[in-house]
Chains A and B, each alone.
Chain A
Amino acid sequence: KQEVTQIPAALSVPEGENLVLNCSFTDSAIYNLQWFRQDPGKGLTSLLLIQSSQREQTSGRLNASLDKSSGRSTLYIAASQPGDSATYLCAPGGDRGSTLGRLYFGRGTQLTVWP
């Protein structure tokens, strides 16, 4: 079974800092990896999707990298803002013998950016 670990569990930083959120997964036989953000009491919003053949994806101040062979993904947030405060979830899609379309979730990194 795919196990997903996110480090750190919580992060509190002043506005303007560049951030690194880490995700590791145990089974490298994935077909993609998605990063989500979740605001308190809300649903999940997709931030970035990286296909297994890709190394990274960028959207605005966000950049996600994927090293499938080592089971790692990293989300970089540049010039953080208070509006970035949320829980960030990493979700690799699939594993060996996996259910098609299944995502596996870590517990997330809770980010607080203060002014």
Chain B
Amino acid sequence: NAGVTQTPKFQVLKTGQSMTLQCAQDMNHEYMSWYRQDPGMGLRLIHYSVGAGITDQGEVPNGYNVSRSTTEDFPLRLLSAAPSQTSVYFCASSYSFLTLTSGGPGGQFFGPGTRLTVL
């Protein structure tokens, strides 16, 4: 298993540009999410998905879009990059709540992160 993979590892954008951060997992996890990590702050949830075709907003969703067309992939789109979006982005996945409470394997797995700089 490759686990959770993210591409690219590093990216520099100019203000106003758009781009997509890729995330994929090969563990057949229902739940996937995106976090951002900024210095001096804890990780904050951007968007999440509880299954293919279902997404919802987290704590800091503005300026980001997501879609979930397959179980494996959960891309994060920056529509018009701003300097405030300079951050490290992490994708995570896990089994569903129902699987956890029925005694299935738990815990979230994180990707290696994408370091994004917006000039």
Contact = CB atoms under 8 A, between A and B. Distances in A.
What bracket does the count of chain B residues touching chain A fall in? 20 to 34
Contacts of B100: 31-32, 51
Contacts of A106: 42
Contacts of A31: 97, 100-101
A94 B90 CA distance: 19
Contacts of B71: none
B31 A51 contact: no
Interface string A90-113: 010110000111111111100000
A46 B33 contact: no
Residue with the highest number of chain A CB atoms closer than 10 Å, among B42, B50, B96, B106 = B42
Interface in B79-114: 90, 92, 94, 96-97, 100-101, 106-113
Contacts of B60: none
A99 to B, nearest CB: 6
A100 B109 contact: no
Given A45-B110, A49-B106, A101-B96, 16 more contacts: A32-B106, A43-B111, A44-B110, A46-B108, A46-B110, A51-B106, A89-B42, A99-B48, A99-B56, A99-B58, A100-B31, A100-B96, A101-B97, A102-B45, A103-B33, A104-B42
A31 B50 CA distance: 16
Contact of B97 (A34, A45, A100): A100
A108 B42 contact: yes
8 contacts: A31-B101, A34-B108, A43-B90, A46-B108, A99-B45, A103-B43, A105-B42, A105-B44
Interface of A: 4, 31-32, 34, 36, 42-46, 49, 51, 89, 91, 93-94, 99-108
Nearest to B110: A44
A102 B50 contact: no
B53 interface: no
Contacts of A4: 42
